[in-house]
Amino acid sequence: MLLAPSEKRRGAILFFLLLINSFLDVFGLAALVPVIMVASNPKSVLESKYFFTVYQYFNYNSEVSFITHLIIFVFVFFLIKNLYSTWTSYLQTEFTADVSMTLIERQMTKYLNLPFWYFNDLGSSNIANFVIGIPANYVTGILRPLLLFLSEVIVITIIVVGIVVYKPVLLFILGIVLVPTAILTYRALRARSFAIGNRMNDLRPVVGARQLDLFIGYAELKLANKLEHFRTRITSGQREIQKLDAEAYLYAQLPLKVIELVAILGVVTILLYALHFTKGASGLIGLVGLFAAAAYRLMPSINRMLTALMQIKQHQYAIHHLGTYEEPHFNEGLYPQQLPLTFNDSIKFEQVGFTFPHEKKPALSGITLRINKGERVGFIGSSGAGKTTLMNLLLRFYREQEGCIRIDGQPLTPQHLQAWHRLVGYVKQDAFLMEASIKDNITLDDPNPDQQRLEYALEQASLRSFVDGLPNGVDTFIGERGSKLSGGQRQRIGIARALYKQMKVLVLDEATSALDNETEREVNEAINKLSSTDITILIIAHRITTLRECNRIYELSGGQLIGEHQYEDLIRQAV
């Protein structure tokens, strides 16, 4: 089961409270009929065994005052019953909300610890569905219907026991008519409901991803005259979802209709039988009346029970996903015992080799190089040469299958991940920017930002004059994904973020290739400012000019290290 022991205990208590609720429900309804009967004929109080006992016990001497008190009692009973039932509903919603949060937290831990390549492979829409969508569906599609199902089972059981005591033959007739119908209806709809649920679960992330494509790529798609095509891609998927949703809704309505029809068929059959084959049919007709009354009360319960079962079938994939289904890579990122790591001397790659999962050709092989603390090292090579992959290995988003990476001679193991990540900063070509202020983007939403570190970062990343020119300074909002900033400014915010973190190793991945000459100059100025620090800088660049201050430049090709150069040599070759 997916629930923790404490949640199971809470569930059991809730079930017990629901049991009481169902008892009160049935009792309330059952009590109403005799009360109405005596109210319509006060004299009958004295004829009823039960009412008369109470009447005598409390020494009443008028039927009217007895009935008045009885009616007030019934009202107070219903008042208390409904207050109680509201309270149990509240406990139920609180319970299910807590369960969904526990599941969401658990899913978050699972997915955020996936290896980077696998996380990337799954894609944001799938992950959003696995982390938030499925736990929410588990609660609305499994847990709530299950509780409803159980409380209906209790109600039905109480009614059935009542009928057994009162008129067993009626139970027999009801059983023949209602039980097979309920089972057949459920069986008929179950497979399709399950299929609908599965298909919807597959479709939702696909449509979500298409929506994201349309919004992110809006400008390019408009220019390429592709907006209509992308819109159709979304609507075709959404149309299927809408149809499935409508079908599921229809299936939710069907059980009641079928059961109602069969119950009426039962009444009609008994009536026809009485009319044509028996003489003194009054007893039978009375039975029909009772049958109709019992069926009338049972039908909604059976319907709710079936609907709940159908919903559970529709959301069964959620149990499968949250429970038994384990991604092969879930535990790769979780290393609870973290060790300290220092970087005072060097980073060494020793015969490092790496092949992407499902690929045959290695992306990197036999990489051996040494970077001393405080050095600046450049990496060049044609597109697909393996530069980014090499940095991703160093950043530990991937792990080499051959050789090893050493920091101060110490192999970089998963136990050093946290300590290592504290030491490195990473600025990508498309630096990650939040729709927040410059300050929040640099401090990554630090609730208590360190003012001194922030000032230092702004200064070193050459953002000082830009920020000072803004009316709200560092509190200026930068728009969705930094839309209010130029390319150079975005990159410098990335650099400032790394500096604020006080990293010791900075990896700049093609940080300037997408920039024009002026912004490249600005970014280079920021990078050059860092020479006064002891930060070790690794720069991947397409433009050789970016590498001017590098101690040396490695050249990669086809996943191998094919050369080591000095800046001047490269410039000479280029000329």
CB of 13 to ligand ATP, least distance (A): 49
Report the nearest approach of ligand ATP to the CB of residue 562 (Å).
13
Residue closer to ligand ATP by CB (options 255, 386) is 386
Cβ atoms < 10 Å from Cβ of 208: 19
User: Least distance to ligand ATP from the beta carbon of 574, Å?
Assistant: 18
* 397 or 456: CB nearest ligand ATP: 397
Q: Using CA atoms, how far apart are residues 47 and 12, in angstroms rounded to an integer? A: 43
Using CB under 6 A as the criterion, which residues of the chain lie in contact with ligand ATP when the complex forms?
117, 356, 359, 363, 381, 383-389
Which of 562, 527, 530 lies closest to 541, judged by CA?
Answer: 527
Contact 507, 425 (CB under 8 A): yes
Q: Toward ligand ATP, which CB reaches closer, 187 or 361?
A: 361
Shortest distance, CB of residue 563 to ligand ATP, whole angstroms?
15
Which amino acid makes up residue 569?
Answer: D
For residue 63, report the phi and psi dihedrals to the nearest 5 degrees.
-65, -35
* Smallest separation (angstroms) from ligand ATP to the CB of 354: 9
Q: Which is nearer to ligand ATP, 237 or 386 (CB)?
A: 386
Handedness of CA 61, 63, 66, 72 (dihedral sign): negative
As measured in angstroms, the least distance from the Cβ of 545 to ligand ATP is 17
Q: Which is nearer to ligand ATP, 259 or 507 (CB)?
A: 507
**What is the distance between the alpha carbons of residues 411 and 24, in angstroms, rounded to a whole number?**
68
Residue keyed to tokens 């996380």 = 119
Q: Which of residues 122 and 158 has its CB atom nearest to ligand ATP in the complex?
A: 122
> Is the Cβ of residue 201 or residue 365 nearer to ligand ATP in the bound state?
365
Minimum Å gap between C-beta 357 and ligand ATP is 7
Closer CB to ligand ATP, 356 or 477, in the complex: 356
Which residue number, 141 or 381, has a Cβ lying nearer to ligand ATP? 381
CA contacts within 13 A on the Cβ side of 301: 21
Dist CA 87 CA 430 (whole Å): 52
Q: How far is the CB of 498 from ligand ATP (least distance, A)?
A: 19
DSSP of 59-88, one letter per residue?
Answer: T---HHHHHHHHHHHHHHHHHHHHHHHHHH
Closest CA to 68 of 46, 35, 33: 35
d(CA 163, CA 170): 7
On the CB side of 286, CA atoms within 13 Å amount to 6
For ligand ATP, give the closer residue by CB, 392 or 460: 392
Burial of 191 (0-12, 13-18, 19+ CB in 10 A): exposed
Q: How far is the CB of 549 from ligand ATP (least distance, A)?
A: 21
Phi-psi region of 482 (alpha: psi -120 to 50; beta: other; left: phi over 0): left
Identify the CA nearest to 322 among candidates 4, 104, 93.
104
Bridge partners of residue 346, in order along the sequence: 372
Q: How far is the CB of 358 from ligand ATP (least distance, A)?
A: 7
Alpha-carbon 208 to chain mean position: 13
Cβ neighbours of residue 350 closer than 8 Å, sequence gap 6 or more: 368, 403, 404, 405, 406
Rg (CA), the chain: 36
Q: 174 vs 393, which CB is nearer to ligand ATP?
A: 393
Tell me the C-alpha distance between 290 and 173, whole Å.
11
Q: What's the closest the beta carbon of residue 329 comes to ligand ATP, in angstroms?
A: 14
Name the minimum Å distance from CB 215 to ligand ATP: 24
Give the residue with the Cβ less far from ligand ATP, 96 or 389. 389
The three-class DSSP label of residue 365 is strand
- Residue 440's contacts (CB-CB under 8 Å, 6 or more residues apart) are 434, 446
Identify the bridge partners of residue 369 per DSSP, sorted by sequence position. 349
Taking the least distance from each CB to ligand ATP, the nearer of 317 and 398 is: 398
Give me the least distance between CB of 390 and ligand ATP, in Å please: 7
Phi-psi region of 169 (alpha: psi -120 to 50; beta: other; left: phi over 0): alpha
